[in-house]
Amino acid sequence: MLAEVALRPVQLSEDADFLRLVYAATRRRELSVLGWSEDVIEEFVRWQFDAQAGHVGTLYPHATHSVVLLGTTAVGRLIVDRSSDEIRVVDIALLPAFRRLGIGSVLVRRLFEEADAKHLPVRCHVVQDDEARRFWGHVGLVAQGLDGVHLAMERACATSPH
């Protein structure tokens, strides 16, 4: 099953609703405790999704935006920024029904292979007390420091350039 994990480039006009759905799924738990109506939550998520997209576009203008596929089913999104210094996972998010199946680990292992071939570290930032921190620790990233509420995490290149 996990051999069927693939990526395809985001096509904004066709994927916008799906990407918003994925983003909303990542925020649903924390927003549900606020007592807001579904309409208010939906509007708030739409606003935050648009703000995040603008922020990511400004910080990582050359990032690759992909839809994560399991077979032919869209199950999430992956945003990766590649530079001469690092491979940075800007965002990885899966719909709840597809979490804890190993899909994220497959994607990250592929990034590790790419990083090792290029002799680069893999880095990301996570909210310090988020469950994503456990995921990143499980796949091999190590905390490097705290930047406000975000924790910088890194996996050094596993191969030597010499």
pTM for the model stands at 0.89
Strands (E), the chain: 5-9, 64-70, 73-82, 87-94, 122-127, 142-147, 150-155
Give 48's pLDDT tier (boundaries 50, 70, 90).
confident
Token pair of 60, please? 């990582």
Q: DSSP states of 43-61 as a string? A: HHHHHHHHHHHHHHHHH-T
**What pLDDT shows up at residue 73?**
96
pLDDT tier at 162, thresholds 50, 70, 90: very low
Calculate ∠ Cα 55-60-65, nearest 5°. 95
Which region among 32-41, 86-95, 102-111, 144-153 has the lowest average model confidence (pLDDT)? Answer: 32-41
Pairing of strands 142-147, 64-70: unpaired
- Tell me how far the alpha carbon of residue 61 is from its chain's centroid: 16
pLDDT single digits (tens) 115-145: 999 999 999 988 766 677 788 888 988 888 8
Indicate if the pLDDT at residue 82 is higher than 60. yes
Burial of 73 (0-12, 13-18, 19+ CB in 10 A): exposed
Per CATH, the homologous superfamily of domain 2-155 is Gcn5-related N-acetyltransferase (GNAT) (3.40.630.30)
- Count CB atoms within 10 A of the CB of residue 58: 8
Q: What is the pLDDT of residue 66?
A: 97
Calculate the average pLDDT of the chain: 88
Backbone angles phi, psi at 131, to 5 degrees: -65, -20
Which pLDDT score is estimated for 161? 55
Over the stretch 108-121, which tens digit does the pLDDT of each residue have? 999 999 999 999 99
The stretch 14-19 carries a mean pLDDT of 93
Q: Domain residues of the chain, as ranges?
A: 2-155
